[in-house]
Amino acid sequence: MSQSALSISGVDKFYGPIDRGVHAVQNLTMEIARGEIVALLGSSGCGKTSTLRMIAGFEEVSRGTISVAGRKVHTLPPVKRNVAMAFEGYSLYPPLTVRENMAFALKAARLPKSQVDAKVASIAKLLEIEDILERYPSSISGGQQQRASLGRALIREADLHLLDEPMGQLEPQLRAVLRGRIKHFIKERGLTAILVTHDQTEANALADRIAVMEGGVLQQFDTPDMLKQRPANLFTGTFVGEPPMNVFEAYVGTAADKINLRLPDGLSLDYDKDAFSGSVRDELLKRQRVVIGIRPYAVRRSKDGVPATVSANQWLGDQTHIAADFAGGSLVLVEHDRTRLELGAPINISIDPKNLHVFDQSSGMAISHGMELA
Amino acid sequence: MEHTSLLERILRGIALTLVVIFFMFPIVWILMMSFQTNETILRIPPQLVFKPTLANYTALITGKLTTAAGTLDIAFMRNLWNSVFLSVTSVAVALLLGVPAAYAFARHKFRGSEDIAFTLLSFRFAPALLVLLPLTLYFQKLGLANTYIGLIWVYQLICLPLILWIVRGYFEDIPADIEYAYRIAGHSWFATFRKIALPLAGPGIAAAGLLAFIFAWNNFVFALVLASADKQPVTVGALAFITSSGIQYGQISAAIVLSITPTLALALYAQRYLVEGLSLGAVKG
Amino acid sequence: MASLELRNVVKRYKSQTVLDNLSLSVADGETLVLFGPSGAGKTVLLRLVAGVIDPDEGKIFIGGEDMTDLDAEFRGVGMAFQNFALFPHMTAFDNIATPLQAKRSSQNAMKAGVESVAKLLKIGHVLSHKPRALSNGQKQRTALARALVGSPPVLLLDDPLRNVDAKLRFEMRLELPRLLADRGATVVYVTQDYKEAMALGDRIAVMSQGVIMQLGTPEQIYREPANIEIARLFGDPTINLLDIKPSRDAKGIYVGLSNVQVHLTGAYDATVGRDCVIGLRPEALRFVDEGTPAAIPVTIEAETPLNEKIVTLVRTVRGREILVSRPAGTPGQTEGSAHIAVDGKSALLFDRASGDRIGAKNVVNLHSGEAA
């Protein structure tokens, strides 16, 4: 079952001469099991698209190997890799109708017409494009083109399905349902999918595991929950999570049996030494300065918390976002109820050590996460 | 970012060289001819090595043309000055009239604006010779024949449509929001034209001006018919080298070199604006 | 400070009417959000107020004064554009200073004014840069600074956060209300993002095809949308819409959802036997144990987390798809069969033919029915 669907080993990508050109992907190693949905997440220029194109075979691998379903493919042309792909720019064949676009690969594989028709019909229903099957790409909207392109990729049987920004242009009203349906479809058929996206909501919604990339380097490869609970470094910590993590620089101090984390302008968070596990406490005490992070939904209002004033109170229908200023900084908290607070109103906020992320100030590497606390 | 092989680079180099030779050959040949006497020029086969002489240039500058049949007075320097004066003034007038008009056409669509703009452009469609006969009669009646003013006026037929249509495109490419933003900030439409539209269309205006200048400089027929010797530009003046005793190739070449120098210099100087203007880099900030 | 009023404004382009007899008033100091799809006429409306285009009919009042025939430079409004509309040949400082220049402020006053607004928007360090050297976020802040610098009584913001990335957009969304409140300006804010609309608007005007479909507080728009279209535009994930036909039994009006009778309370007598649509917000649905009264049996298709919420796509026995959302970290089933119950707070009933919401009462109360 856990046979590897994709194995990337020590892959480098240089644009220009090897070792001297632009180092777009740096020593990437990843193992993806059959049936997994994996997202490559990062901002533009992080190397995610180069990686996808190397897997598909549109880009040469400068160094390292790529295997699909146990077969080394990095020297093969795209057509021999048994990989299906949905392109970011849709790349639908303009002279063909949506139906013909979707059926193209199946016909090429000499599938009987009745089977082709049945498959097109079921995918079309899934993506709600039944009524545009006979239309040409130029006469349908961007969202419909994206769905057609997605359909053309999903309809194929392949060892790997590569989806490049598959849902960016989808009509917002359809997005949630389509995400659910597509995830169900992929899981039900046991397909292996890799999607490239800059949109973390999309990655979170669809992927079993997310590979966060930045500057050509894989920062962390983990489940969405683990990325949020145990970010490996400050980059993933602040990149993943919406609204983003609140981050502060802090001085580490000790007083009696307390450890205090003092923000540059006064505010001090005091915790019992025993609140931290031994190794984390040691790591903490080795340093004078650290960066601390707290997720917006982990900030609580409580009577004995730090005094702050409300600078924004925004209700979005199912969540309330509150921004608060306190001595030396400001932070954001999220509540799931409708909270009504006046601008400038005093509140007290508390940061539970259980929810605190601590990072090294210079390297940005994580020192501790709430769950490692004693 | 594809890296290129050595072979590819060599082939590309060869191709570029061929193109450059093809386009530069006439100019280089003329430059060489301008330093030769008629005898060496007409020698068969032509020779690449010769003893250069400045005689052609001297003749042009002093105005004394020595031919087999004797010495002729020519007014080449006068012609050159006429060319400069006529072209510069025509372009200046055309810019003065054309740029505001182009702005109006670009920004204020009114009933018939398209038709007027097209009519102005259509002046360029008419063959010059067709227009010339009636024009000559009018000009003689009005006393404009053989005057600088008359010539500059006629040159507007060349310059104005060109500037109007090119510059209009540049104005249209400036996002209206940018001008709206300046108006809303509290500035009059004229200030907006001066401080926003003009600077942003600057490269385009420079490009159009240069193009108009080249067209004006190269004009032949209008000046041939409407001007007498003392008002004629170089293009017409060059006719003087076709003398009764033969064509003075050396002097013609020297005259060509002298007469393309100003346009060439201007084009080189304005190259930066031209490229910038033609790619519209300034606006899409 | 000034209020803003549009009276019976009509704007046509060629034969197309982009604003159709539109009237609107914005109170002094209020933030009104114009929300709607592109082509709804939002931007045209802003431009009419700014005075860069003229209405074909109707009047525009700012601070009670008729401004309809006044040119843009005399209206004293500030405006920020979606594409920033910075002057590419001027530094950020000069860009921001243009409104002060027009007022012929002294050099010192200009410098002070620009620097204070730049500090507020955290762009003090890039004032000497030309727009092309600015990041998108900085461009957006520069454009905003230019709109704010002259302390105009009326501020027009045309989707100013459209072209910045999600993180910056979120940051600015939290920052803006205070910025605007501190200025005390009357604000008209255009956006296509419902979250921005709800977060920033004192009131929201939902526009479609040149008319205002609904005007109300975020609360009213979200809880009492005028029609299906508006209900679908607000909320992520989108509201669940199911075709139903209310019936009546001894206990009152009920709707059948997967063979479960859910009774409605409210003035729905007229709906019996009519083709209707029931709207259920995903967050108003929850998973319950089997045997709970009015529990609807479903099978779970997929779970898709969304910003601290878990969104679950479920399918009813009759094959209808329903989205259920719950806060992350709260318990819930992840696969197999399950039961859901309707949280009585936000079910909405619409007429299927017209799409209009039914019911004089703002909130429909559902009470538990018995399993059929």
Cβ(C130)–Cβ(C122) under 8 Å? Answer: no
Whether the pLDDT of residue A374 is over 60: the answer is no
pLDDT at residue A92 greater than cutoff 90? yes
Domains of chain B as residue ranges with CATH: 74-280 (1.10.3720.10)
Distance between CA atoms of residues A173 and C228, nearest Å: 12
- Asked if B183's CB is within 8 angstroms of C73's CB, the reply is yes
Q: Which of B176, B178, B185 is closest, CB to CB, to C99?
A: B185
Is the pLDDT reported for residue B42 higher than 50? Answer: yes
Q: For residue A338, what pLDDT is reported?
A: 86
Cβ contact, residue pair A317, C234, below 8 Å? yes
pLDDT number for residue B69: 66
Q: Are C172 and C164 in contact (CB under 8 A)?
A: yes
Taking an 8 Å cut-off on Cβ atoms, the answer to whether A177 and C238 are in contact is yes
Task: Give how far A56 is from chain B: nearest CA, Å.
Answer: 18
Mean pLDDT, to the nearest integer, of B113-122? 84
The 10 Å Cβ neighbour count of residue C57 is 13
Min Cα separation C48/chain B (Å): 12
Q: Is the pLDDT of residue B142 over 70?
A: yes
Residue A3: its pLDDT value, please? 76
Q: Cβ of B282 and C150 within 8 Å? A: no
Q: Which chain C residues contact residue B279 at CB under 8 A?
A: none
Give SS3 for A155: coil
- Residue B2: pLDDT above 50? no
Q: Does C242 touch chain A (CB under 8 A)?
A: no
The model's pLDDT over B263-277, given as tens digits with 9 standing for 90+, comes to 888 888 877 766 665
Question: Kind of pairing, strands C276-280 and C240-244?
Answer: antiparallel
Token pair recorded at residue A370: 């709430």
Mean pLDDT computed over A151-176: 91
Cα gap B28→B49, rounded to integer Å: 14
Q: How far is CA A21 from the centre of its chain?
A: 28
A4-33 average pLDDT score? 93
> Helix or strand or coil: residue C332?
coil
A166–C contact, CB cutoff 8 A = no
Chain C adjacent subunits, 3+ CB pairs under 8 A: A, B
Higher pLDDT, A139 or B267: A139
pLDDT category at B22 given cuts 50, 70, 90 is: very high
Contact B178 C75 (CB under 8 A): no
Picking from A7-21, A123-137, B131-145, C147-161, which range would have the lowest pLDDT averaged per residue?
A: B131-145
According to the model, what pLDDT value does residue C371 have? Answer: 33
In this prediction, residues B78-84 reach a mean pLDDT of 89
Q: How far apart are CA C368 and CA C366, in angstroms?
A: 7
Q: Is C166 on the interface with A (CB under 8 A)?
A: yes
Contacts of A242 in chain C (CB under 8 A): 166, 170, 307-308
Inform me whether the C-beta atom of residue A314 falls under 8 Å from chain C C-beta atoms: yes
| Rounded Cα distance, B269 and B206, in Å | 11
Question: In whole numbers, what is the pLDDT of chain A averaged over residues?
Answer: 90
| Counts for chain C of helices (H) and strands (E), in that order | 8, 22
Is there a contact between C62 and C2 (Cβ–Cβ < 8 Å)?
yes
CB contact (8 A) between residue C79 and residue B180: yes
pLDDT of residue A88: 86
**Residue A63 at interface with chain C, using a CB cutoff of 8 Å:** no
Dihedral over alpha carbons C234, C235, C238, C244 (to 10 degrees)? -70
Q: Which chains border B (3 or more CB–CB pairs < 8 Å)?
A: A, C
C216-225 pLDDT, tens per residue? 999 999 999 9
Nearest to A183 among C165, C218, C304 (CB): C304
User: What's the pLDDT score for residue A104?
Assistant: 93
Q: Please answer whether residues A259 and A253 qualify as being in contact, where contact means their C-beta atoms are separated by less than 8 angstroms.
A: yes
Query: Given this model, what pLDDT does residue A271 score?
Result: 82
Select the residue from A167, A171, A177 to test the C interface by mutation, using most C Cβ atoms within 10 A. Answer: A177
Best residue of B109, B184, B200 to probe chain C, by most C CBs closer than 10 Å: B184
Q: Which of B175, B189, B282 sits opposite C85 (nearest CB)?
A: B175
**Contact criterion met (CB < 8 Å) for C181 and A316:** no
B2 to chain A, closest Cα gap in Å: 7
Q: What are phi and psi of A97, to 5 degrees?
A: -75, 170
The pLDDT, as a whole number, for residue C265 is 67
Q: Does A134 touch chain C (CB under 8 A)?
A: no
> How far away is chain B from the Cα of A17, in angstroms, using its nearest Cα?
7
Selecting from C71, C76, C81 the residue whose C-beta is nearest the C-beta of B181 gives C81
- pLDDT bin (cut points 50, 70, 90) of residue B100 is very high
Of A102-106, B234-238, C40-44, the range with the lowest mean pLDDT is B234-238
Among chain C residues, CA nearest to B111: C14
- Does C283 sit within 8 Å of A297, measured CB to CB? no
Q: Average pLDDT in the A97-122 region?
A: 94
User: CB neighbours of B210 closer than 8 A, spacing ≥ 6?
Assistant: B266, B267, B270, B274
* CB contacts, 8 Å: C97 with chain B: none
* pLDDT score of A160: 95
Which chain C residues have a beta carbon less than 8 Å from that of B180?
47, 50, 52, 72, 79, 81, 85
Chain B residue nearest residue C98, CA to CA: B185
Rounded to whole angstroms, the Cα distance separating C298 from C319 reads 9
- Cα(A305)–Cα(A325) distance, integer angstroms: 13
What is the reported pLDDT for A71?
Answer: 92
* Per-residue model confidence as pLDDT tens digits over C224-272: 999 999 999 999 899 999 999 988 888 778 888 888 888 876 667 778 8
**Is the bond into A353 cis (omega within 30 degrees of 0)?**
no
Shortest Cα–Cα distance, C309 to chain A (Å): 9
| For residue A276, pLDDT beyond 90 | no
For residues A246-254, average pLDDT: 91
Q: How far is it, in rounded angstroms, from Cα A281 to Cα A273?
A: 7
pLDDT of A14 over the 90 cut: yes
Residue B47's contacts (CB-CB under 8 Å, 6 or more residues apart) are: B40
Contact C89 B188 (CB under 8 A): no
Contacts of C301 in chain A (CB under 8 A): 180-181, 184
CA distances from C4 to A344, C71, C73, C127, C221 (A): 27, 16, 17, 33, 22
3-state secondary structure C148-183: HCCCCCEEEEECCCCCCCHHHHHHHHHHHHHHHHHH
Residues of A in contact with B1 (CB under 8 A): 15-16, 21-22
Q: What is the mean pLDDT of residues A296-321?
A: 90
The kind and range of the H/E element at B235 are helix B234-237
| Mean pLDDT score of chain B | 84
Chain A residues closer than 8 Å to C306 by CB? 176, 201, 204-205
Across the interface, whether the CB atoms of C174 and A312 are under 8 A apart is answered: yes
> Within an 8 Å CB–CB cutoff, is residue B25 touching chain C?
no
| Reduced DSSP (H G I as helix, E B as strand, rest coil) percent helix, strand, coil of chain B, to 5 | 75, 5, 20
pLDDT for B255 equals 86
Query: Which residue shows structure tokens 């410098």?
Result: C111
pLDDT of residue C343: 67
A286: pLDDT strictly greater than 60: yes
| CA distance linking residue C336 with residue C321, whole number of Å | 15
Is B3 close to A22, i.e. CB distance below 8 A?
Answer: no
Taking CA A372 as the corner, what is the angle to CA A371 and CA A374, rounded to the nearest 5 degrees? 100
What residues of B are in contact with residue C85 (Cβ under 8 Å)?
A: 175, 177-178, 180-181
Q: Tell me, what's the pLDDT at C345?
A: 59
How do residues C299-331 score in pLDDT, each as one tens digit? 999 999 888 889 999 999 889 999 999 988 788
pLDDT at B39: 80
Please say if the pLDDT value at position A1 is more than 80.
no
C355 touches A: beta carbon within 8 Å: no
DSSP code of C354?
Answer: T
Contact C174 A334 (CB under 8 A): no
Query: How close, in Å, is residue B176 to chain C by CA atoms?
Result: 9
pLDDT for B281 beyond 50: no
Q: Cα(A206)–Cα(A197) distance, rounded to whole angstroms?
A: 11
- Residue A275 in this model has a pLDDT that exceeds 80: no
In this prediction, residue A123 carries a pLDDT of 95
pLDDT(C360) > 50: no
Write out residues 186-215 of B within 8 Å (CB-CB) of C.
186-189, 196, 199-200
Confidence of residue A144 (pLDDT cuts 50, 70, 90): very high
How much is the pLDDT for B85? 93
pLDDT per residue over C50-103, tens digit each? 999 999 999 999 999 999 999 999 999 999 998 999 999 999 999 999 999 999
B43-62 per-position pLDDT tens digit: 888 777 788 888 888 888 88
Mean pLDDT for the stretch of residues C112-139: 92
| Contact state of A315 with C200 under an 8 Å Cβ cutoff | no
* Closest among C327, C350, C338, C318 to C239, alpha carbons compared: C350
DSSP C357: B
Which pLDDT score, from 0 to 100, does residue A373 have? 54
Give the pLDDT confidence of A189-214 residue by residue, as tens digits: 999 999 999 999 999 999 999 999 99
Is the pLDDT at C367 greater than 70? The verdict is no
Chain B residue closest to C134 (CA)?
Answer: B285
User: Measured between beta carbons, which residues in chain C are less than 8 angstroms from residue A174?
Assistant: 238
- B6 contact A CB<8A: no
Give chain B positions within 8 Å (CB) of A15: 1
**pTM, to two decimals:** 0.84
